[in-house]
Amino acid sequence: MNIKYVLLGMLYFVQGIPYGLQSGLLPIYFRSVGLSFTRISLAKVLYAPWILKVLWAPLVDHYLAKKTWLLFTMSGLVLSCLACSLLEPDTNFLPVALVFLFMNFCASIQDIAVDGVAIQLLGYEEIGYGNTVQVVAYKMGSVMAGGGLVAFLYHLGWSAIFLYLAVIYTLAILLTWVSDLRVRRWRPSQESRIMVGNVNPWSILKELFHVPGTHWTAGFVFIYKLGEQGSMSMFPLFLLDRDFSPQKLGFWNGIVAMIFSIAGSYLGGHLISRRRRLLPALENLLIVRFCGLTLQILLMALYQNKEPFFEVAAVMSICTQHLIAGLITTLTFSLMMHCSQKAKESIQATHYSFLATLEVLGKVIFGACDRDPG
């Protein structure tokens, strides 16, 4: 396997850990120690650095090497894990929340640096497989932290889990340290240093939109999850209300569906590498997803409890939607990277971070709309 894919896979894997911790591990642990739903909901504010990362992306683009940023941020993640191992959330909620806010801040900077490395490291013909590695490794890191660690939480304890995570980040630092990233370092002019020092968001935004294809790509990544988010989150709850047992739902929607999602991501990278034409493939997949969502709505209208036919159809619908979602996500991230590679070297990481921020905003906004029909 190409060493570039191994290195990127490792970096995206550890990048997915903070998200998995906050989406999977923390809510369960917080609730088990008696924290209120209000406090648990307020913890979502800790995702703010991922929304705001485009503000400090120019600093990553203009100052220091990407490898230096990676080493600094992963060192910050090691310190965050060590700090968490010394704190108990039930008695130190605010300190733990602040540590996780810092963890997200470090992870968001790491994300910018890794994306910048990937944009320069991957050739045009390698972007398909590179984005497959990105999506799959991030999902695996998130699932390991959010699902796998829950199973060991009550056996190992809070402190031990974060000590193990600190070891994982330390190993990632060592691998990054010895790796030759072969990424060009852009040396900014005095004028560009002044622009970044003044942090003029309007000037930076205008420069980003001058990159060919940015307008269309930005609009697409903002809306491409429309409908899919509701299917992923609401259809399982519909089945739960229709006497689908939690154990069965957890198996099919948690384990099997994730396997289909990863398979879809792999197929997406393979499809790009063979066809190398993103837009026709995306158009066809979006049509297939629309048909799948339509059939899912029809299934919900006709669903009858404890009927084997409908249960099988529901499982097939879940797996199909995750397979298609994996395909579309990989193709979309490849589209974003193609667009960012057209930007000047001095703003490539910033450009990609801008598109990624819109992608996150779209998921959050449309996910909330799908959950609240009122």
Cβ neighbors of 368 (< 8 A, separation 6 or more) are none
pLDDT in tens, 183-229: 554 444 444 444 444 555 667 777 788 888 888 888 888 888 777 76
Please tell me the distance from the alpha carbon of residue 256 to that of residue 319, in angstroms, as a whole number.
7
pLDDT in tens, 317-348: 888 888 988 888 888 888 888 888 888 877 77
pLDDT at residue 75 above 90? yes
**CA-based end-to-end distance of the chain:** 50
pLDDT in tens, 344-363: 877 777 888 888 888 877 77
CB 128 within 8 A of CB 118: no
Residue with tokens 């691998």: 175
Residue with tokens 């960012």: 340
pLDDT in tens, 140-190: 887 777 666 656 666 677 788 888 889 999 999 998 888 776 555 444 444
State the pLDDT at residue 40: 61
**3 state DSSP class of 183:** coil
Please tell me the distance from the alpha carbon of residue 165 to that of residue 171, in angstroms, as a whole number.
10
Distinct helix (H) and strand (E) counts, the chain:
18, 0
Surface-to-core class of residue 247, CB atoms within 10 Å of its CB (0-12 exposed, 13-18 middle, 19+ buried)? exposed
Cβ neighbors of 142 (< 8 A, separation 6 or more) are 16, 17, 19, 20, 23, 24
Residue 34 pLDDT class (50, 70, 90 cuts): low
